[in-house]
Amino acid sequence: MIHFTMKLAGLLLLLAGWAIVLSALMLLRPSLGQNSFIVAGLAIEALGLALAARAHRPLLKEGE
C-alpha cells in the first residue's frame, strides 16, 4: 500500500511540475520570472521522478 501511494505521489508530482511549466507559459511573458518558473517545474518533476523510481525498486527478501 505504501508503495502504491508512493508511486501515485511520484506520478502526481510529475504532472504538477508540468502544470507549473504550462502555467508559466500561459500567464507570464518571456522574462527571468517565466524561466525561473519553468526551471522550478522541472525541479518538481525531478522530485516526482525520484519518488516514482524509489517506489518501483523491487522489494528484497531480506533487509538491505
Q: Does 61 interact with other proteins (rule: CB under 8 A)?
A: yes
Given candidates 5, 9, 39, 51, which one binds other proteins under the rule CB under 8 A? 39
Alpha-carbon distance 52 to 5, whole Å? 10
Q: Does 38 interact with other proteins (rule: CB under 8 A)?
A: yes
Which chain residues interact with other proteins by CB under 8 A? 11, 14-19, 21, 25-27, 29-30, 34-35, 38-39, 41-42, 45, 48-49, 52-53, 56-58, 60-62, 64
